[in-house]
A = this chain, B = another copy of it.
Amino acid sequence: MQDQSEVSPCLALDAATPEVLGDDVIERLRAIAVQHGAVAAGTRIFRAGEPFRAIYGVRIGAIKAIRYDGTGEEQVVAFHLPGEFFGLTGIHSDHYVNTTVALERTAVCGLPYQRLFHVANEHPRLRRQLMRLMSGVILTEQDQYAAMAGHTADARLAFLLLDLRERMSRGGAPQDRLRLPMTRAELGSSAGLAPETTSRVFQQFRRRELIEASGRNIRFLDLAGLRRLAVPLTHPGHGTGRTTAA
């Protein structure tokens, strides 16, 4: 019954192994997790403004988080892939702030926040993991922001593609290929670009033989080249901070 490619984030918070979290915690999480069946593309998981009840994890498929600006135009705020959580902003606001929509056939699981909190009350390890999870989300959010602000369309999309590749492959997907769950328009929106620009950049990448792309199927031909284009995320662990500027 289980799809091989299924990821159960709600039972292993933030990719924590059972050793980290403990079997007892996993058991408790299993007890409170609500496993939703797969829904069709276009299905809304929750809407902005609805009362916050649970945080969600993606098991199969993909989710987009969107907002509508003044003109009713849709703006993509984030994509959520298998193993990732969403809806965490609701904790602060008591209401969901984004609307979330399945991009393809998608299954999610829900962790009712009150119950999750109760479980955490008894398990310090879960508490620590929750903090790590939230901190990680802040980090990704900032990476995204830094990668978009003040950079060209090429750089943004190169970053996005590499980012999606890495996140997809975390679930065991092949490293050299990528099936995009979103349209060019959605991809562009999340990068602050018009759909046409997105399409043109894809063409440019093809011409420069960085990727092969037929529709939503991407094949990476020159990862180094893409990385050179993308905004480098200089996360610690390497390279000393360059102190001498001019």
Residues of A at the B interface (CB closer than 8 Å) are: 47-50, 67-70, 72, 75, 77-78, 88-99, 117, 120-121, 124, 127-128, 130-132, 134-139, 141-142, 144-146, 148-151, 189-194, 231-232, 234-242, 245
Tell me how far the C-beta of A185 lies from the nearest C-beta in chain B, rounded to whole angstroms.
11
Please give the distance in Å from A140's CB to the nearest CB on chain B: 9
5 nearest CB pairs, A to B: A149-B192, A49-B236, A91-B135, A92-B135, A134-B134
Q: Are the CB atoms of A93 and B232 closer together than 8 Å?
A: no
Residue among A124, A131, A144 having the largest count of chain B Cβ atoms under 10 Å: A131
Name the distance in Å between A88's Cβ and chain B's nearest Cβ: 6
**Inter-chain contacts of A191 with B (CB < 8 A):** 149
A162→B90 CA distance, assembly (Å): 23
In the bound complex, residues from chain B placing their C-beta under 8 Å from that of A132 are 91-92
Can you give 27 contacting A-B residue pairs, CB < 8 Å? Answer: A48-B235, A48-B236, A49-B241, A67-B234, A75-B149, A77-B142, A89-B138, A91-B131, A91-B132, A91-B134, A92-B132, A92-B139, A92-B240, A96-B236, A97-B139, A97-B142, A97-B236, A99-B241, A117-B127, A130-B131, A134-B134, A137-B138, A141-B141, A144-B145, A149-B191, A150-B189, A150-B193
Does B134 contact A131, Cβ atoms closer than 8 Å? yes
Instruction: Give the residue of B94, B117, B148 whose beta carbon is less than 8 angstroms from that of A192.
Output: B148
For A139, what are the chain B residues with a Cβ–Cβ distance below 8 Å?
89, 92-93, 97
Which of B78, B135, B150, B234 is close to A89, meaning CB atoms less than 8 Å apart? B135
Is A142's CB under 8 angstroms from B78's CB? yes
